C-alpha cells in the first residue's frame, strides 16, 4: 500500500546546539523502491509504467559511481525484468554489482508477504521461490529482511527468517500508540524470540522503522513540492514521452543545496534521538520510485557531498548504503539488547478509529481460491516427487511437469503479497490474482491426471471393476489421493446426476457410501463415501449408477439413500420459551441438541466425559458507515463498526438428513419472515460412528453468505456457556497459537479486539474447549463471555476520495461458501486433535473423476494389485514439503560462485534429482504429555515407501545454506536465557536419524538411489 500520500510531515526540529565534541551521526542512506506486486495496478500495468525502468535505470546509474547503492526487495518484478527485458550487457552489469555488494537483494521472496492472513506453508513457498532463483542466478543468499509494509507483524515471521539464515529483521507497521512509546523509550530495536518453544535458538535482531516508516519525509519548508523525489510520481498507463513526471522535487542547485541539507539533517537528528546507537537508517525512496534513477542520483550526490563537507557544523555524515552495511555497524556497536518474547504486533492501528482488522475477512472468495491452489500445489508436488523417484524415465515429461509446478508456485507466491491475499487490492487486481491462480490450477490438474493415468513401466492395471450387479451398468471412476504422510480415513463427496449408486474400491470390495439430494441443486445428488488411504497413497474407486433404488429387503451393496425431514420455518418474533422440544443428533463423540422452537443448535455434549455445553450458532451483522462526514468508515483495510452487531435474520428453517455415513443438518436463515430465498445458511455434517477409524470428533460446517446488503459485515457467532472471560486464542499463520486477551481502549474497542484466524481459533475455560478450524483466513473475536465470532464476509462502499480514486471501496457482491471444522472437548483431548486437524483440513484428499459415466461392457479382468507403499510419519510430525524444486543449488558454495563468475551465460539444466524435504513438529513444549516430546526418526526408514535414500544434507529453510556452514550473527541480550542450550533441541546422527524438537522445522536435500528397470 502507498505511504507517499500518507507520510507525516517532517517536524522541523534542527536544534541550534553545536555538535561540540560529540561524534557526528552516521547516516546510512538506503535507496529503494517499494514495488507492490498488485494493489492498485496489475503486474503487467506496473511493469509497463515504471517497474522495468527501475531496474534498467538503477543498473545504469550504479555502474557510473562506486559509492552508489540500491536494495532490491520483491523478486517478481526483478525476475520479469531479468527474463524478458534485460539485455546481455545489463545482465553482466547486474552480476558485477551483486558481486561487489552495491546491488543487494534483501528479503528475496517473490513478494513481501502479508503477515496476518498468510499460511506458514505459503510464506515458505514464496520465500523459497525467490531464494532459489537468486542462488542459482547470482549465488546470492539474502541475509536481511525488509518487511516494511505488511499490516502488523506476526511472531511467526522472525522464526522463519531466522531459519532462512537471516541476521536481522526489519518491520514497520505496528500500532501507532505502541510505536510512539517505543520511540520515546528508544526501544525500536530488540532481539525477538518469536517461538516460545524454540526460544533463543531462533532469535533474530529486529529493527522497527520509526514514525516515518519506509518513505523519505516529503515536506520541504522552502518549497511547495515534495522533497527528495526528484523523479516525481509514476504515471499510468504510460510513462511520459518527455520524461517529465508530476510533482518532481525542486532540483539541488547552489541556491537550494543548503535548505535541502538543513531539512535532511533535521530529520536525521530527530530520528537519531529514537535509537540507541549513533547510526541512522535513512530510507531514500517510497512507492514506485527510481524509475528515473539518473535524476535521483544526480540530485542526491551533490546534496550528500555538501553535508559531508560541512559535517562538523551539521553534526552528521551521510553515505549510500545497503541494509547489510547498516546492520553491520549496529552489530559492531556491541550493545546489549532487550528481548521480546513470542508476542506479535497484531492487530495494527494507525490512529484511534483506524483499526486495520477488516482485511482479515476482505475478499473471502480470493482467500479461498488462494488456499485451494496452495493445497493443490502441495498434492502435485508430492505426487510428482514420488513419480520421479520411482519412474525417472516414465512417460510424464519432466520438463513439462516442472513447468506446470512452477506456474502454480508463481501464482500462489504472487497472491501472498501484502495487498493480495489481504483483499485490499482494486477489483481488477483481484481478478488478476484469481485468473493467474485458476490458470495455473488447471495446469496442475492436467499434471495430476497424467501422473495418475499414464502407465508407469509396470504391468498395466485394469480399469475394469466388477461389483455385484455391475453388468452394463453406468460406471464412473474416481481417483482419491492422500497428500499427507499419515494414514487417513475420511469422507469424500462427489456430485452425481443419479439417485442411486454403489461404490467399490480397487479390490472390487464395496465401500460404505451414502447418497442424497444436493443442497445446492435439486437436479444433482451428493455421493459420500469412506476412503482409507496410507500416507502419500492414491486409490481408484468405481461408482456404479442406477436409475432405480434398491428394493426393500434386498441385500444390495448400493449407497444408503438418505432422505431429509424438513422442520417448519420459525420466526424470531415468535420465540418465546425455548428449549422445550429438543431434537438429538448423535455420533460416537457428540450428542447435538437442536431446538425445534428456534431451529438453532441448543447444546452439545461430548460423550467421553458426558459434559454438556450450552451452545447456539447464528449470523449477526455490523452496519458500516460509508460517509466520511458522518464518522469513521470501514473499507478494505479498516473495520470500524457503527455500533454493536444486530441479528441478521428474521426466520430460520431446518432440514435434517439422517444417514449411515453422516447426518446432515441444513439451516437456512431468512432476512425477512416471508422471503422466498434465504440470505445465509449453515450445513453441518456429523460423521457417523459405525465406520471403523472414521474421525467422529470433527463437525464440518459449510456456510453460504451473499450477496450482502451494501455496508454490512457479517459474522458467524457461536455463543456458549464457556466462561472464557472474552479471552480467545488464534493462530499466527498456522504455526503457533496466540493468547488474545480482551482489552479496553479509549476508542474503537470493538474493532481493536479482532484478530486474524488463518487455521484455528478457540475459547476455553477450566473444563472445556471449543475449537474452530478454517479452510481460509477470517477475522475472529470474543466480544462477550462464551462467544466466538468469525467475520465471514464484507461488502462496503464509502466516499473517501482516496478510496474512490484507487477503487478500493470493497463493493464485493459475491456469494461465499467457507468451511469450518468444529471440535468440542476437554483441553487435553482437543490439544491432541486440533493441530493435526488443521493440517488435514488444509490438505484434504484430492478427488479426481477420470471419466464420465458410461456403460461398462468388459468382463471381470485380473488386475495388477500393487499399490504403492505408504509413507507414514509419527502423528506429531508433519511432512511440510516434498518437492523437486528444479533450482540448481550447490553443496559447494565456492564452486558455485566460481562457476557464475566465470562468465558462462548458458542457462543451467533444471535439477530433477534433488528432492527437498521439510518436516515440522506440530506441538509446543508442554502442550501434550506425549506428543510434545522431541521425536527421533530415521528418515531413511520413514521414506522407504518412496525409495532408498542415498544421501541426506540438512539445509536452511529455503535451501540456500548448508546448516554446517551457516553462522548467523550473535546479538548480546539483556538475559542470556537459552543461549547455552542453543544446540540442544535439534540433532542428527550419521545414520539418517534426526531428532526434531517441538515447533522445529527441519529442511533437507535428499537424493535417492536410482532404480534399474
Indicate the DSSP class of residue 355: B
Contacts of 969 (CB under 8 A, 6+ apart): 167, 168, 205, 331
Strand partners, 1004: 917, 954
Task: At 543, list the grid cell.
Answer: 461408482
Residue of 433, 379, 389, 355 whose CA lies nearest to 152? 355
Give the 3-state secondary structure of residue 83.
helix
Give the 3-state secondary structure of residue 227.
coil
Task: At 958, list the grid cell.
Answer: 529455503
Spatial contact of 997 and 985, defined as CB atoms under 8 Å apart: yes
Residue 765 appears among annotated catalytic residues: no
Spatial contact of 617 and 599, defined as CB atoms under 8 Å apart: no
Contacts of 763 (CB under 8 A, 6+ apart): 720, 722, 724, 727, 728, 729, 769, 770, 782, 786, 787, 788
> H or E element: which one contains 100?
helix 88-100
Q: How far apart (Å, rounded) are the C-alpha atoms in residues 569 and 144?
A: 60
How, if at all, do strands 582-586 and 565-571 pair?
Answer: unpaired
Measured over the CA atoms of residue 825, residue 830, residue 834 and residue 840, the dihedral's sign is negative
Distance of alpha carbon 669 from the chain centroid: 31
Q: Apex CA 275: angle with CA 272 and CA 279, to 5°?
A: 60
Q: How many residues does the chain have?
A: 1013
Task: At 67, list the grid cell.
Answer: 559509492
Residue of 836, 826, 794 whose CA lies nearest to 811? 794
Indicate the DSSP class of residue 245: -
Task: At 868, list the grid cell.
Answer: 504403492
Q: Give φ, ψ of 838 to 5 degrees.
A: -65, -40
With cell 495455473, the residue in question is 440
Q: How far apart (Å, rounded) are the C-alpha atoms in residues 156 and 115?
A: 8
Spatial contact of 488 and 878, defined as CB atoms under 8 Å apart: no
Spatial contact of 936 and 995, defined as CB atoms under 8 Å apart: yes
Q: How far apart (Å, rounded) are the C-alpha atoms in residues 335 and 1002?
A: 31
Indicate the DSSP class of residue 478: E
Spatial contact of 908 and 133, defined as CB atoms under 8 Å apart: no
How, if at all, do strands 819-825 and 699-705 pair?
Answer: antiparallel
Q: Apex CA 588: angle with CA 587 and CA 590, to 5°?
A: 65
Give the 3-state secondary structure of residue 165.
coil
Spatial contact of 471 and 546, defined as CB atoms under 8 Å apart: no
How, if at all, do strands 204-208 and 168-171 pair?
Answer: parallel
469: left (phi over 0), alpha (psi -120 to 50) or beta: left
Check 119, 149, 731, 812 and give the catalytic one. 149
Task: At 324, list the grid cell.
Answer: 547489510
Q: How far apart (Å, rounded) are the C-alpha atoms in residues 433 and 44?
A: 12
Q: Apex CA 733: angle with CA 729 and CA 739, to 5°?
A: 20
Spatial contact of 146 and 209, defined as CB atoms under 8 Å apart: no
Residue of 445, 377, 438 whose CA lies nearest to 125? 377
With cell 494414514, the residue in question is 487
* Catalytic residue list: 149
Amino acid at each position: 500500500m502507498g505511504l507517499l500520500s500518507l507520510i507525516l510531515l517532517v517536524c522541523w526540529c534542527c536544534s541550534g546546539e553545536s555538535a561540540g565534541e560529540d561524534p557526528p551521526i552516521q547516516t546510512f542512506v538506503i535507496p529503494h523502491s517499494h514495488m507492490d506486486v498488485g494493489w492498485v495496478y496489475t503486474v503487467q500495468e506496473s511493469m509497463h509504467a515504471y517497474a522495468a525502468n527501475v531496474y534498467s535505470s538503477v543498473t545504469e546509474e550504479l555502474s557510473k559511481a562506486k559509492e552508489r547503492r540500491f536494495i532490491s526487495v520483491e523478486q517478481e518484478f526483478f525476475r520479469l525484468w531479468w527474463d524478458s527485458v534485460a539485455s546481455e550487457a545489463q545482465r553482466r552489469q547486474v552480476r558485477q554489482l551483486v558481486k561487489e555488494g552495491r546491488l543487494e537483494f534483501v528479503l528475496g521472496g517473490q513478494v513481501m508477504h502479508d503477515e496476518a492472513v498468510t499460511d506458514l506453508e505459503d510464506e515458505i513457498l514464496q520465500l523459497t521461490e525467490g531464494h532459489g532463483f537468486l542462488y542459482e542466478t547470482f549465488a546470492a543468499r539474502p541475509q536481511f529482511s525488509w518487511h516494511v509494509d505488511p499490516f502488523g507483524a506476526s511472531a511467526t515471521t522472525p522464526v522463519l527468517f531466522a531459519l532462512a539464515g537471516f541476521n536481522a529483521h526489519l518491520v514497520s507497521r505496528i500500532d501507532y500508540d505502541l510505536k510512539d512509546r517505543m520511540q520515546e523509550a528508544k526501544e525500536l530495536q530488540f532481539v525477538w524470540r518469536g517461538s516460545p518453544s524454540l526460544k533463543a535458538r531462533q532469535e533474530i535482531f529486529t529493527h522497527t522503522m520509526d514514525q516515518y516508516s519506509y518513505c523519505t519525509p516529503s515536506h520541504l519548508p522552502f518549497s511547495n513540492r515534495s522533497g527528495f523525489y526528484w523523479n516525481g510520481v509514476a504515471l499510468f498507463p504510460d510513462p511520459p514521452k518527455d520524461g517529465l513526471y508530476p510533482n518532481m522535487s525542486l532540483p539541488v542547485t547552489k541556491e537550494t543545496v543548503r535548505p535541502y541539507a538543513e531539512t535532511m539533517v533535521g530529520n536525521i537528528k530527530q530520528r537519531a534521538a529514537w535509537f540507541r546507537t549513533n547510526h541512522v537508517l535513512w530510507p531514500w525512496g517510497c512507492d514506485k520510485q527510481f524509475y528515473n534513477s539518473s535524476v535521483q542520483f544526480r540530485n542526491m550526490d551533490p546534496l550528500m557531498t555538501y553535508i559531508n563537507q560541512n559535517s562538523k557544523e551539521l553534526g552528521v555524515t551521510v553515505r549510500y548504503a545497503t541494509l547489510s552495511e547498516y546492520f553491520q555497524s549496529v552489530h559492531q556497536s556491541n550493545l546489549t539488547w532487550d528481548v521480546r518474547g513470542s508476542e506479535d504486533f497484531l492487530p495494527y492501528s494507525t490512529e484511534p478509529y483506524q483499526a486495520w482488522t477488516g482485511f482479515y475477512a476482505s475478499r473471502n472468495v480470493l482467500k479461498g481460491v488462494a488456499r485451494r491452489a496452495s493445497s493443490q500445489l502441495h498434492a502435485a508436488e508430492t505426487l510428482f516427487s514420488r513419480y520421479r523417484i520411482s519412474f525417472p524415465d516414465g512417460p510424464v515429461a519432466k520438463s513439462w511437469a516442472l513447468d506446470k509446478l512452477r506456474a502454480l508456485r508463481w501464482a500462489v507466491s504472487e497472491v501472498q503479497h501484502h495487498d493480495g491475499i489481504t483483499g485490499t487490492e482494486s477489483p481488477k487486481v483481484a481478478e488478476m490474482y484469481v485468473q493467474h491462480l485458476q490458470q495455473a490450477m488447471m495446469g496442475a490438474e492436467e499434471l495430476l491426471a497424467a501422473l495418475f493415468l499414464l502407465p508407469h513401466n509396470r504391468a498395466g492395471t485394469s480399469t475394469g471393476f466388477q461389483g455385484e450387479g455391475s453388468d452394463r451398468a453406468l460406471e464412473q471412476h474416481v481417483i482419491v489421493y492422500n497428500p499427507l504422510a499419515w494414514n487417513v480415513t475420511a469422507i469424500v463427496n462427489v456430485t452425481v446426476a443419479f439417485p442411486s449408486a454403489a461404490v467399490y474400491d480397487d479390490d472390487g470390495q464395496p465401500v460404505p457410501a451414502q447418497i442424497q439430494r444436493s443442497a445446492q441443486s435439486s437436479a444433482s445428488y451428493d455421493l459420500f463415501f469412506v476412503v482409507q488411504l496410507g500416507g502419500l497413497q492414491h486409490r481408484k474407486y468405481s461408482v456404479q449408477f442406477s436409475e432405480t433404488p434398491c428394493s426393500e429387503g434386498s441385500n444390495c451393496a448400493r449407497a444408503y439413500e438418505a432422505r431429509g425431514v424438513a422442520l417448519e420455518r420459525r420466526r424470531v418474533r415468535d420465540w418465546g420459551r425455548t428449549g422445550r422440544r429438543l431434537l438429538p443428533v448423535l455420533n460416537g463423540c457428540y450428542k447435538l441438541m437442536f431446538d425445534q422452537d428456534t431451529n438453532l443448535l441448543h447444546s452439545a455434549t461430548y460423550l467421553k466425559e458426558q459434559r454438556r455445553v450450552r451452545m447456539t450458532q447464528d449470523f449477526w451483522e455490523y452496519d458500516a458507515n460509508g460517509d466520511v462526514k458522518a464518522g469513521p468508515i470501514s473499507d478494505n483495510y479498516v473495520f470500524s463498526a457503527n455500533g454493536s452487531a444486530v441479528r441478521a435474520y428474521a426466520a430460520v428453517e431446518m432440514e435434517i438428513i439422517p444417514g449411515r455415513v453422516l447426518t446432515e443438518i441444513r439451516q437456512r436463515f431468512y432476512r425477512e419472515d416471508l422471503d422466498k430465498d434465504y440470505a445465509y445458511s449453515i450445513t453441518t455434517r456429523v460423521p457417523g460412528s459405525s465406520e471403523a477409524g472414521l474421525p467422529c470428533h470433527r463437525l464440518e460446517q459449510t456456510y453460504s453468505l451473499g450477496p450482502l446488503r451494501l455496508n454490512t459485515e457479517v459474522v458467524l457467532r457461536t455463543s456458549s456457556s464457556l466462561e472464557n472471560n472474552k479471552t480467545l486464542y488464534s493462530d499466527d499463520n498456522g504455526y503457533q497459537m496466540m493468547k488474545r486477551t480482551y482489552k479496553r481502549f479509549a476508542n474503537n474497542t470493538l474493532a481493536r479486539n479482532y484478530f486474524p484466524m488463518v487455521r484455528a481459533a478457540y475459547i476455553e475455560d477450566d473444563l472445556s474447549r471449543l475449537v474452530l478450524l478454517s479452510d481460509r483466513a477470517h477475522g475472529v473475536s470474543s466480544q462477550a463471555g462464551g462467544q466466538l465470532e468469525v467475520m465471514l464476509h464484507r461488502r462496503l462502499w464509502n466516499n473517501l476520495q482516496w478510496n474512490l480514486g484507487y477503487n478500493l471501496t470493497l463493493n464485493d457482491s459475491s456469494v461465499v461458501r467457507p468451511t469450518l471444522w468444529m471440535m468440542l472437548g476437554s483441553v487435553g483431548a482437543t490439544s491432541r486433535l486440533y493441530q493435526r486437524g488443521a493440517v488435514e483440513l488444509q490438505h484434504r484428499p484430492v478427488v479426481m473423476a477420470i471419466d464420465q459415466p458410461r456403460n461398462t461392457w468388459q468382463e471381470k479382468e485380473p488386475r495388477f494389485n500393487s499399490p504403492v507403499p505408504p509413507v507414514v510419519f509419527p502423528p506429531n510430525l508433519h511432512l511440510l514439503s516434498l518437492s523437486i524444486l528444479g533450482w540448481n543449488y550447490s553443496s559447494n558454495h565456492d564452486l558455485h560462485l566460481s562457476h557464475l563468475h566465470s562468465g558462462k551465460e548458458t542457462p543451467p539444466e533444471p535439477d530433477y534429482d534433488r528432492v527437498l524435504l521439510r518436516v515440522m513438529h506440530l506441538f509446543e513444549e508442554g502442550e501434550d504429555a506425549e506428543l510434545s516430546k522431541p521425536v527421533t526418526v530415521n528418515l531413511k526408514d520413514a521414506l522407504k515407501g518412496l525409495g532408498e535414500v542415498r544421501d541426506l544434507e540438512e539445509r536452511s529453510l529455503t535451501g540456500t545454506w548448508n546448516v554446517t556452514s551457516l553462522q548467523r550473527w550473535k546479538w548480546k541480550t539483556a538475559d542470556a536465557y537459552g543461549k547455552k542450550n542453543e544446540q540442544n533441541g535439534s540433532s542428527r546422527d550419521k545414520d539418517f536419524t534426526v531428532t526434531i524438537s517441538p515447533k522445529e522445522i527441519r529442511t533437507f536435500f535428499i537424493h535417492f538411489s536410482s532404480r534399474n528397470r
